[in-house]
Structure 1
Amino acid sequence: MTELRIEGLTKSYGPQAPRVLDGLDLTVPAGALAAVLGPSGCGKTTLLRIVAGFLRADAGSVTVAERVLSAPGVHLPPERRRIGTVPQEGALFPHLSVARNVAFGLTGVDRTERRRRTDEMLELVGLSGYGARMPHELSGGQQQRIALARALAPRPALVLLDEPFNALDSALRAGVRADVRTALRLSGATAVLVTHDQQEALSTADVVAVVREGRVAQCDTPEQVYRRPADPWVAGFVGDAVLLPATARAGGTAETALGVVPLAEEAGAGRGTVLLRPEQLELTEQASTSAHGTVTDVRFYGHDAMVTVTVEGLAEPVDIRAAGPVAVKPGERTGIRVNGEAVLHRPAVTDHAVK
């Protein structure tokens, strides 16, 4: 089973330089696609380069399928790690045909097997019959799929994808992501996708690892990371968040400026910060609820709209995601209703959490 296990990974780029990775731990189950998500400078690319063997870690270990690739006194070179890499923008060899690009890593096999495996990989990524073409004859999305086929052809123990969809326009990106995800699942490969795109991570991966300041702040399924974030920083990074000062009460509820809301878990009495998502808030008639506010902005996105409302007792306005046509306009009063459960975090937002 091709499980990736990273333990205590540490890396800095000089004796006096701050740590880019600071004791990072991460386990990716065999056959899973894990997205490593985080802001610029958090250590995502450094992590990928250490796993691939292009960089040496200062401390910690990397193990794939129970095989130690990196540890104190151990550093297998990249060519011995059985890891496939899909870089940004495909990086195909421009002077080689599509078929020869895919077959590039198939060393030590006879011509018949090389041709069979190449055809198999082209079919896997939905480009059967494209073998004779040159890279410049392909679209950006097709080049990325060929890069994946090239990475999968040698049957690697692990596939690393380094922000491979960045160069694609938004209309093409979703389709190529779906194609790549399907191909990885059909191949049974374990894979790690490095990205700073929250939507990409949540919609593509089986597991999402949110990295902050060189450590994994939370690693879980996309749904759990979104609905049950580890702290307010994670909540705000993976999606739009409504954070409200709250007083938790016995019985699993909390009192907020938007009224009493049910909590996902019993938290006991005390103060904290309640997390809600904008889609949990609903615009209503003022007479139907005790929570009211003044609309300050309406942003239309086609499939929905984001309505910003100032509420008495709150220092910051709240965002409400509304489906369909929005009747309210800036300057108008509105009622607000909370739907579903909230997550309570203690302590309240700290300086570290809002960096």
Structure 2
Amino acid sequence: MSAIPAPSAHLSVEAIRVGYQVAHQMHEIVHNLSFALQRGEIGCLLGQSGCGKTTVLRAIAGFESLIAGRIALGGKELSNATHTTVPEARHVGVVFQDYALFPHLSVADNIGFGLRKLSGAERHARISKLLTLVGLTSQEKKFPHELSGGQQQRVALARALAPQPDLLLLDEPFSNLDVDLRERLATEVRDILKEVGTTAVLVTHDQHEAFAIADQIGVMQNGVIVQWDHAYNLYHRPATRFVADFVGLGVFVPGRIDQHKQDVSIELGSLPLCHGLEVCDPNEQDAQQVDVLLRADDVVHDDSSPLQAEVVRKAFRGAEFLYTLKLPSGQQLLALVPSHHDHALGERIGIRLEADHVVTFPKQD
């Protein structure tokens, strides 16, 4: 569910609805969405393409009007159903997906583009400080085409931070970079934002970016936030089946809760039921057929285990393999195994369960 905005929040997004007219009919993209961030917090809207996350970002920036709800920043209302403060008057910085750097300006001039109201000395001092902050002190005279993708991303970040905005919006800023660079830069961007104390909202479809940078993450589905939470809870305590399936690596296996509702039995054995959802209602029948979420790190390779599973797929990930394993029943599991255990397809290996968080959902046909 969407987070309820706190009265003292620095950014407050309250029950907003956003859409556009198609043939005299309103096509609504975002439905009664709410969340809040305190000053200096980094939030993330995480979801698949088309879920509405970029539309929310555009509404916060002032590029989209609201059908209903309100957006406030620093106690000042920026948008409601009848009024939208223009983007340039919001004191909000934006880092775009394609960086949008000026190709004819140097790194220093790109960073200082929004500082024209400052004196020459103040402008120079601010640019120098930001160059140091983003680690580009030796690149100030270069032009964007002379920089790597990661360096261009840092210039875009420095330019957005230069006017000291009240809020920074990041629209999939790492999507043009290779996978290894994305997570490293996301961590660096978090460090930079925390150093300057800037409140920020990131939009991404990549959960690794979200985990690396955000304090709070809102998983979006069909125009709403289905869970606003810390990364740990999204992974180990998903509020819905969609969140469980979208965040992390895992599969659902059939299970049965015993009559005392203290554990759940699956093909691999019994697990203590330390977290459940609707299936844990004591008014329901004694025996419940459920689906149990098993993460790849819940299944441990153990040569001494009598329980065997067949390797049907494998993906090398450097320090580990991601194995897809098939049980005697045909049920498939995922397992992360250290890469020195290099097993062939079709080979049977010993496994055991090591699950600290057991999440169950009503059985789905």
Both proteins in one fold, TM over 0.5: yes
Give 2:294's aligned residue: 276
1:130-209 aligned within 5 A? 130-209=139-218
SS in 1 for 2:25: coil
Counterpart code for 2:168 = V
Consecutive unaligned residues in structure 2, runs of 5 or more: 1-7
Answer yes or no: is the 8 Å Cα contact 1:3–1:30 preserved in 2. Answer: yes
Q: CA deviation at 1:215?
A: 0.4
SS in 2 for 1:104: coil
Is 1:34 the counterpart of 2:43? The answer is: yes
Is 1:265 the counterpart of 2:283? The answer is: no
Answer yes or no: is the 8 Å Cα contact 1:52–1:81 preserved in 2. Answer: yes
Answer yes or no: is the 8 Å Cα contact 1:11–1:58 preserved in 2. Answer: yes
Is 1:215 the counterpart of 2:224? The answer is: yes
Q: CA deviation at 1:99?
A: 1.7
CA 1:56–1:214 in structure 2 vs 1: closer, same or farther (change >3 Å)? Answer: same
Q: Could you tell me the percent identity over the aligned residues?
A: 39
Is 1:319 the counterpart of 2:326? The answer is: no
Q: CA deviation at 1:208?
A: 1.4
Consecutive unaligned residues in structure 1, runs of 5 or more: 351-355
Q: CA deviation at 1:348?
A: 3.1
Answer yes or no: is the 8 Å Cα contact 1:124–1:183 preserved in 2. Answer: yes
Distance 1:311 1:16 in 2: 52
Distance 2:250 2:305 in 1: 24
Counterpart code for 2:305 = S
Is 1:299 the counterpart of 2:312? The answer is: no
Counterpart code for 1:39 = Q
Counterpart code for 1:3 = H
Counterpart code for 1:333 = R
1:49-68 aligned within 5 A? 49-68=58-77
Give 2:244's aligned residue: 235
Partner residue of 1:77 out of 69, 86, 90: 86
SS in 2 for 1:294: strand
Q: How high is the TM-score relative to the length of structure 1? A: 0.90
Give 1:255's aligned residue: 265
1:5-24 aligned within 5 A? 5-14=12-21, 15-16=24-25, 18-24=27-33
Is 1:341 the counterpart of 2:350? The answer is: no
Answer yes or no: is the 8 Å Cα contact 2:9–2:36 preserved in 1. Answer: no
SS in 2 for 1:239: coil
Give 1:112's aligned residue: 121
Deviations 1:3-53 (A, max 9, x none): 211111112222536421111112223211112110000001111111100
Shifted more, 118-127 versus 210-219: the winner is 118-127
Answer yes or no: is the 8 Å Cα contact 1:308–1:317 preserved in 2. Answer: yes
Q: How high is the TM-score relative to the length of structure 2? A: 0.88
Answer yes or no: is the 8 Å Cα contact 2:17–2:66 preserved in 1. Answer: yes
Counterpart code for 2:326 = T
SS in 2 for 1:89: coil
Distance 1:317 1:17 in 2: 44
Shifted more, 154-163 versus 2-11: the winner is 2-11
Q: CA deviation at 1:278?
A: 0.7
Give 1:101's aligned residue: 110
* Aligned residue pairs, count: 347
Shifted more, 122-131 versus 219-228: the winner is 122-131
SS in 1 for 2:362: coil
Counterpart code for 2:132 = E
Shifted more, 3-12 versus 207-216: the winner is 3-12
RMSD after superposition? 2.1
Q: CA deviation at 1:313?
A: 4.3
CA 1:342–1:243 in structure 2 vs 1: closer, same or farther (change >3 Å)? Answer: farther
Answer yes or no: is the 8 Å Cα contact 1:5–1:26 preserved in 2. Answer: yes
Distance 1:137 1:185 in 2: 29
Give 1:329's aligned residue: 344
Give 2:305's aligned residue: 288
Counterpart code for 1:299 = A
